[in-house]
Amino acid sequence: MSTVAPHTVDRTEQATETRIASYLLTEYLERLGVEVIFGLCGHTIIALLDALGKSRIRFVSTRHEQIAAHAVDGYARASGKTGVLLTHLGPGLTNACTGVANAALDSIPMVVIAGDVPSHYYGRHPHQEVNLQQDADQCQIYRPFCKRVYRVDRAEDLPRIMERAFHLAPSGRPGPVLVDVPMDIFSADLPVDAFHQLPAPMSRPTVDQATVAQIVEALASAERPVLYAGGGVLSARATSELAALAEALEVPVAHTLMGKGCLPDDHPLLLGQTGFWGLPIANDTCRTADLIVAVGTRLAEANSSSWDPRYTFSMPPTRLIHIDADEAEIGRNYPTDLGVVADAKLALAALAAAARGKRHQNRGPLRDDIARGRRAFAENWDHQWSSDQYPMRPERILAELRKAVPADGFIVTDVGWNKNGVAQQFPITVPGTFITPSGLATMGFGPSAVLGVKIAHPDRAAVSLVGDGGFSTNPSVVATAMEAELSVVWLVMDNAGFGTIAGLESMHYGSSFGCMFERGGKPYSADYAAMARAFGARGVTIESAGDLGPALRDALASHLPTVIQAPMENAPTPTPGHWNINDIYRKGQ
């Protein structure tokens, strides 16, 4: 019989075979189908690392916990599975915080396992605990954004809490769950069958037939209806159901930033993205609609032009039917005629089935109007697709990227011209291939998330399109890609500054103080390509616009990670919608 440590289930029972918790936990993670964990070591988690090292689970070690958290996020988005992050306490937990919050705001399922100080040090303020004003409570830093924050106070609770975490993260509205584990618990003995409980298979909520009939009738009889798709449509893998519904009733489809890809960009019923960085045809059609059926969206500020009725949505008089996995989202920002809590895929499938063959209002020249509206907007920049200007025009960078990356390749953006430009001007035809940080819009997301995307789909292209500001937040992603042998590409749009914010500041204040990269009063640009080579990766500097296409094709064919640095003019993305921060700024003397 093994020696029984203080954290066993029942020391008085007759001989229960026990094993060390970290090994049992690792086997449980294997049984759950976990194939990869991203993280960064610390003395609180090496017991688990030892077990992971002996398991089938791949551990990808990053040089910063924020990188690990974004990589988990990218993996979860691309694979559709719950991602797993492993982090040390104190500085590890706080470093990962931004990445986990980013995942939370985009409803990405994630389980965060964090080591903590030994449980018997409660209240003594041990090494690296975030304390001072609160004892043994550092996990609460995650409270405003995690679905649950668990601290495991007794070893016998670890199996039950792990089961809860893997049950809750993907269910309902997905999101991160933190399991904070005092390090002695990883080394405690537990009965060999302690992790017997797997998360229950779950059926997801659908819509009752009467409500389905009501919504389909409302769509069919409306004169100017719009289907409005959010990221929830993509995460539920419900794009073909959306297309079937739209086509059955000839209803145009607009989408949020995260909803891009809900219909192929060349679909004749696709209006495009709404909001500040949206398309005029999308904003105008939504604003003048008589009915909007919104699915899997928060109707968030950026996509709704700060909820100003003059730009994107005018509800009322437009009637709103809102279908979402989370009842808390319904009615938050707009008066709602009908709220439905349902899984997007089941709801859209039921609506599409009921809509098939149903008579609907004559939509007139709807498809022509959409085509004309999209073409008119593109005419603002389509001449730039072939521009030889150097430093390059951003539109030419997008055009070369689209030509080089296969339709099923992933474009993982950061924030800046990359995100706004791709959302607005870059055709996506395969759902799920556009990955972007929306809710928290975290600069630094893209270069790290692409690592997880590539692990989820090693045979597909994965390019992170990122500004030089975003890329330089955590350039050690290159080291991780080298170690993990991930042939990802970072295409760095180099405008020597935090261009998007510089543009805002100069528009309102006539200067871009604090936003551009400068040394001695002159623009300062680091040599990211040389830096990549220093890590052993490939690094390419674009010296004329015509170099980019071949450089991208070489990079995608290479087995090494590649940084491509493309000097670019700091030109703003068009903003057909509205953001009311622009009404707030006031210039003084």
Ligand X SMILES: Cc1ncc(C[n+]2csc(CCOP(=O)(O)OP(=O)(O)O)c2C)c(N)n1
Nearer to ligand X, 16 or 273 (CB): 273
Q: How far is the CB of 316 from ligand X (least distance, A)?
A: 33
Interface with ligand X (CB under 6 A): 414-418, 441-444, 467-470, 493, 495, 498-501
For residue 39 the two structure tokens come to 């993280």
Whole-number CA gyration radius for the chain: 25
Q: Which is nearer to ligand X, 55 or 306 (CB)?
A: 306
Closest separation in Å from C-beta 525 to ligand X: 11
Question: Nearer Cβ to ligand X, position 82 or 495?
Answer: 495
Nearer to ligand X, 36 or 443 (CB): 443
> Taking the complex as a whole, how short is the minimal distance between the CB of residue 155 and ligand X, in angstroms?
37
Nearer CB in complex with ligand X: 42/444:
444
Token code pair at residue 271: 């209006």
For residues 271 and 279, the answer to whether their CB atoms sit within 8 Å is yes
Using CA atoms, how far residue 245 sits from 347, 352, 356, in Å, is 11, 4, 8
User: Is the CB of residue 422 less than 8 Å from the CB of residue 434?
Assistant: yes
Cis peptide leading into residue 118 (ω within 30°): no
Shortest Cβ 390–ligand X spacing (Å): 17
Kind and range of the H or E run holding 530: helix 528-534
CB of 493 to ligand X, least distance (A): 6
Give the residue with the Cβ less far from ligand X, 131 or 389. 389
Give me the amino acid identity at 28: Y
Is residue 61 helix, strand or coil?
strand
Looking at beta carbons only, is 136 or 515 nearer to ligand X?
A: 515
Query: Residue with CB nearest ligand X?
Result: 467
Least separation in angstroms between residue 416's CB and ligand X is 3
Nearest 5°: the CA angle 64, 101, 501 is: 85
Closest CA to 105 of 97, 113, 93: 97
- For residues 548 and 564, give the distance between their C-alpha atoms in angstroms, rounded to a whole number: 8
Q: What is the DSSP letter of 271?
A: E
DSSP string, 538-555: EEEE--SGGGHHHHHHHH
Q: Which is nearer to ligand X, 423 or 443 (CB)?
A: 443
Entry field: residues in the chain: 589
CB of 471 to ligand X, least distance (A): 7
Is the distance from CB of 108 to CB of 76 less than 8 angstroms? Answer: yes
Q: How far is the CB of 300 from ligand X (least distance, A)?
A: 15
Which sign does the torsion angle of CA 46, 49, 51, 53 carry? negative
Q: Hey, which bits of 256-369 come out as E strands? A: 270-273, 291-295, 319-324, 338-341
Q: Nearest approach, Cβ of 491 to ligand X (angstroms)?
A: 12
Instruction: Rank residues 145 and 186 by Cβ distance to ligand X and give the closer one.
Output: 145
The DSSP code for 51 is H
Nearer to ligand X, 119 or 474 (CB): 474
The span from the CA of 78 to the CA of 58, in Å, is: 17
Q: Which is nearer to ligand X, 46 or 441 (CB)?
A: 441
Q: Which residue has the tokens 């145009």?
A: 252
Short-list 231, 558, 279, 287, CA closest to 427: 279
In terms of Cα–Cα distance, which of 431, 428, 554 is closest to 491?
554
- Shortest reach from residue 532's CB to ligand X, in Å: 17
Comparison of 142 and 166: residue with beta carbon closer to ligand X: 142
Assign 102 to helix, strand or coil. helix
CB atoms inside a 10 Å sphere around CB 402: 17
Residues in CB range of 120: below 8 A, 6 or more apart: 184
Task: Rank residues 28 and 445 by Cβ distance to ligand X and give the closer one.
Answer: 445
* Least Cβ distance, residue 258 to ligand X (angstroms): 16
Task: Classify burial at 584, counting beta carbons within 10 Å of its beta carbon; exposed 0-12, middle 13-18, buried 19 or more.
Answer: exposed
Question: Which one, of 70, 36, 19, 22, lies nearest residue 181 by Cα?
Answer: 22
Give min distance, CB of 303 to ligand X, in A.
16
Give least dist CB 500 to ligand X, A: 3
Q: Shortest approach of ligand X to residue 457 CB, angstroms?
A: 25
Cβ closest to ligand X, residue 178 vs residue 443: 443
SS3 282: helix
Q: State CA 292 to chain mean position distance.
A: 25
